[in-house]
Amino acid sequence: MHRFYGIRIGIFGMLSLLLFSSCNDYSSTGIEDSVEFIESTVPVAEAQDVTMDLKSGANSFALHLIDLSNIDPNPIISNGQKRAWCIEWDVRVIQGLQKHVKLHSTEGKVYWNKLNYLLNRIDHYKQSYPQITYKEIQAAIWSIVDYKPFSIDKIPDYPNFPSSFYEDGEYRFDVTLTKEIIEEVKIKASGSVFDKFALVIENEGQIIVTTSE
């Protein structure tokens, strides 16, 4: 059963499963009971039985790199390789091949305005900040998606935080730049018009997102 669907039909049952799951570099703190999060997406009808191959996207300026197939023709998303990001820092990712993956659209949903603003600005940030990496973008996403409590300043207190972002008492990304991006998003996201929007990917691991085309 995919986790996204599990949240829809049994938030407390899935909570029990996650609390006892093995998370590699991640430590689960449990799923937040966020009805707004769950109900603020629309299934992409042509992408409800997708095959996804997921691997590290560090060399492609993303947390994950995914290869999607078995998507029927539609104006939102096509088959092929995409950059992807995660929403849950404390839930393990399942790399490799997965079948029966489902995609959900955030188009026109106010709940996702901040994330959609950020995703539309990634290329701008790459041009404006030569030092930026995928880590600043990912940390900003964790901060602006109102799904699980997250604060950059509290990272030292989070157990088993991903070592690629924080290790041995040191942040391994540009905290100042990340906070600047977060503040820009908070100020400018409301009322913005987006060329593309996030697609939430329902799968067996952590909830991840890619973008429309």
Sequence spans of domains, the chain: 3-107+196-211, 111-188
Between these two residues, 67 and 32, which has the higher pLDDT value? 67
Contact status, residue 56 vs residue 93, Cβ threshold 8 Å: no
- What's the whole-number average pLDDT of the chain? 84
Residue 153 has pLDDT above 60, yes or no: yes
The pLDDT confidence band at residue 86, using thresholds 50, 70 and 90, is very high
pLDDT at 40: 81
The pLDDT confidence band at residue 30, using thresholds 50, 70 and 90, is very low
The pLDDT confidence band at residue 10, using thresholds 50, 70 and 90, is very low
Residue 138 has pLDDT above 60, yes or no: yes
Q: Look up residue 74 and give its amino acid.
A: N
Please report the DSSP string for 151-206 in residue order. -GGGGGGSTT--TTTEETTEESS-HHHHHHHHHHHHHHSTT---SS-EEEEE-SSS
pLDDT at 29: 31
Residue 1 has pLDDT above 80, yes or no: no
Q: Quick count: other Cβ atoms within 10 Å of Cβ 144?
A: 20
Residue 39 has pLDDT above 80, yes or no: no
Residue 27 has pLDDT above 70, yes or no: no
Rounded to whole angstroms, the Cα distance separating 151 from 166 reads 13
Residue 15 has pLDDT above 80, yes or no: no
Give the model confidence (pLDDT) of 176-207 as tens digits: 999 999 999 999 999 899 999 999 998 888 88
